[in-house]
Amino acid sequence: MELIAHLAQVESLTAIGIGLIIGLGALGACIGIGIMGSKFLEAAARQPELMPLLQGRMFLLAGLIDAAFLIGVALAMYFAVGNPLATAITNAAKAAAGH
């Protein structure tokens, strides 16, 4: 019975952690791309001749910002599917039952 309570607690805290990782990651990526886009438009308005160069760099940075967010999503999905914390608790319970 104690094992079930510990597993439930780990799974519930893992779900909260996953929500925070994905939610804050998405918020950060949106804010970052928004600031970058506004600075791009500002720079393009000041020096229109640099627009092609700035546009290429803006798209590169947008990809990097998105990649950082997707790495966070992949880490969150790892904890959702193959939670190493739950595995450790299960193995500890099996070891304690064996002794």
Rg (CA), the chain: 22
Residues 1-40 pLDDT 10s: 688 888 889 899 999 999 999 999 999 999 999 999 999 9
The residue that leads in pLDDT, 20 or 95, is 20
Exactly one of 48, 56, 66, 78 is catalytic; name it: 66
Q: How many domains does the chain have?
A: 1
Q: For residue 99, what pLDDT is reported?
A: 63
Domain that includes residue 59, residue range: 2-81
CATH classification of the domain holding 16: 1.20.20.10
Number of neighbours of residue 97 by Cβ within 10 angstroms? 8
Active-site annotation holds for 66:
yes
Provide the 10 A C-beta neighbour count for residue 76.
19
How far apart are the C-alpha atoms of 97 and 77, rounded to whole Å? 31
Assigned domain for 60 exists: yes
pTM of the model: 0.78
Question: Structure tokens of 68?
Answer: 């950082």
**Bigger pLDDT: 35 vs 83:** 35
